[in-house]
Amino acid sequence: MHSLLFSLLLASTASALPRPGGAPRGPRGVQIKAPHQVRASAVIPVVVGGPQDLFVPNSVTANVGDIVQFQFSNGNHTVTQSTADAACAPMEGGVHSGHIPFEDGQTEVGTFNMPVTSTEPMFLYCATGPHCQTGQVMMINPADTQQLAAYAKLSQESAESVDGSAVVGGTAATIPLDAAAFTPAAPEEEAAAPPPAEAPPAEAPPAEAPPAEAPPAEAPPAEAPPAEAPPAEAPPAEAPPAEEAPAEAPPAEGAPAEEAPAEAPPAEAPPAEAAQAAEAHPPAAPAPAK
């Protein structure tokens, strides 16, 4: 009896041993497959925006199945796919996240989780305003370092940024701010009011004009010497009494009487000089009548 049990146990052990050229088999010929190691997908964070309008980092190498998680920092930004030769314009059917903002005081961060489906170079830009022209571009799996530089230069030369349409190529979500790969920029403080303007210094009163120099006092006019009294006029010399004319003889009878000459009016008394001259030359006495 014991020998029979031992024979059966030996037979089952031999059948479980691996056979050359085949997979190991379990009891009754069940084939056991070797364990398959599945690679875990990597989550690659990329910060979008912030104090500067950039992608950080702006170049990523990813495998198929990896997740590029775009985390949106300060501002309002997009992740939009373009072609290599048409920067700042959406590629038909390409990835587009839509506009995802971040404002001061938020406790959650908007994200866009994009699965990588190819190892070919992928060109991405932000379609908000002029962000593409100012350098907010990036690449996934660039062929070389020069390819990213050429794409950035092309974006700076583009005339405008064209927005995408519907959200394509990923999933929008949120994560707690504490779990984000960035620290938000500090809120901008309101500009302090300028100090009140100082009152301009009071204008100094105009300097008093120096008193005008008094004109030199005019010397009082010299008193004119008293006018010399004109010499008193000598009183007119009294005219000498007129000599009595000799009595006229009576006219002779029979002879016509001659008319006596008219008496001259008494001469006005000459001034002193005339009087003196008169004294010197007395008038001749009239001749006696015949």
Residue 219 pLDDT: 59
Provide Rg for the chain, Cα atoms. 75
In the chain, what are the domain boundaries?
Answer: 43-179
In one letter, which amino acid is 206? P
Angle at 201 between CA 195 and CA 202, to 5 degrees: 135
Question: Which pair of structure tokens corresponds to residue 190?
Answer: 């309101």
Residue 161 pLDDT: 95
Question: May I ask the CATH class of domain 43-179?
Answer: mainly beta
First to last CA, the chain: 252
Average pLDDT over residues 41-46: 96
Give the least confident one: 12-16, 77-81, 145-149, 178-182.
12-16
Question: Which pair of structure tokens corresponds to residue 30?
Answer: 């069940």
Q: Calculate the CA dihedral of residues 276, 277, 280, 286 and round it to 10 degrees.
A: -120
pLDDT of 138 > 70? The answer is: yes
Q: Where are the extended beta strands (E) located within the chain?
A: 43-48, 55-56, 59-60, 67-72, 75-77, 80-82, 100-102, 108-115, 122-125, 137-140, 171-176
Average pLDDT over residues 16-21: 52
State the pairing for strand pair 55-56/59-60: unpaired
245-278: per-residue pLDDT in tens? 454 545 445 444 445 445 545 555 455 555 555 5
Q: Which residues contact 225 (CB under 8 A, 6 or more apart)?
A: none
Would you give the DSSP letter of residue 141?
S
Residue 252 pLDDT: 44
What are the phi and psi torsion angles at 90 (to 5°)?
-70, 140
Residue 281 CA: distances (Å) to CA of 70, 143, 262 = 160, 164, 23
Q: Is the pTM here over 0.75, yes or no?
A: no
